[in-house]
Amino acid sequence: MIKDFKVPIYLLIFIVVLIIISAIIDYFFSSQIRSVEITTTENEYKTGAVLVINIKNNSDQKICFSSCYPYYFEQQNQGWKSYSYASCPKPDLNENCTEPRAVKSFEIILPALQNGVHRLAVPVCIGCVIRETFKEQKWFYSNEFVIK
């Protein structure tokens, strides 16, 4: 005969506490910078065209961009290769910050880039103060687009 199986109360309490701790950890990490969406308005461009990018800050913290190089162009060539940039002749400061859950748009006139698949790489400073020295903490990438 099968006897009634009873789960000890301490085991039930342990499981409930484990679920609560997991929920707290998940909430904490979900408020960290995990998602910044960077999208272009088109999937194909020509040199000299205006590229509009939208940056959506899906976090609970302000993000700021560099006053020198707020973005880098990268080309897909057996992996992603960044174009070379000259040194910045001025102090690199936090500029153009985006508040939590906000969207910011920028227009970029496309320089002469090689034809092919590209994306933008955007370094950000998380929770930084505007006009203080820029310290990149995380990089985010746009969708891919084609230069013809």
Q: Which domains does the chain have, with CATH numbers?
A: 36-147 (2.60.40)
- Distances, alpha carbon 92 to alpha carbons 31, 45, 88, 102, 143, in Å: 27, 29, 7, 24, 26
- Give the pLDDT confidence score for residue 4 in this predicted structure: 64
28-51: per-residue pLDDT in tens?
Answer: 655 454 689 999 999 999 988 999
- Give the pLDDT confidence score for residue 23 in this predicted structure: 76
State the Cα angle at 80 between 79 and 81, rounded to 5°.
115
Which tokens sit at 71?
């973005």
Residues of the chain with pLDDT under 50: 31, 33
- Give the pLDDT confidence score for residue 34 in this predicted structure: 62
Task: Reduce the DSSP state of residue 20 to 3 states and report it.
Answer: helix
90-108: per-residue pLDDT in tens?
Answer: 999 998 899 999 999 999 9
- Give the pLDDT confidence score for residue 22 in this predicted structure: 79
pTM over 0.75: no
User: Closest by alpha carbon to 146, among 46, 21, 6?
Assistant: 46
- Give the pLDDT confidence score for residue 31 in this predicted structure: 47
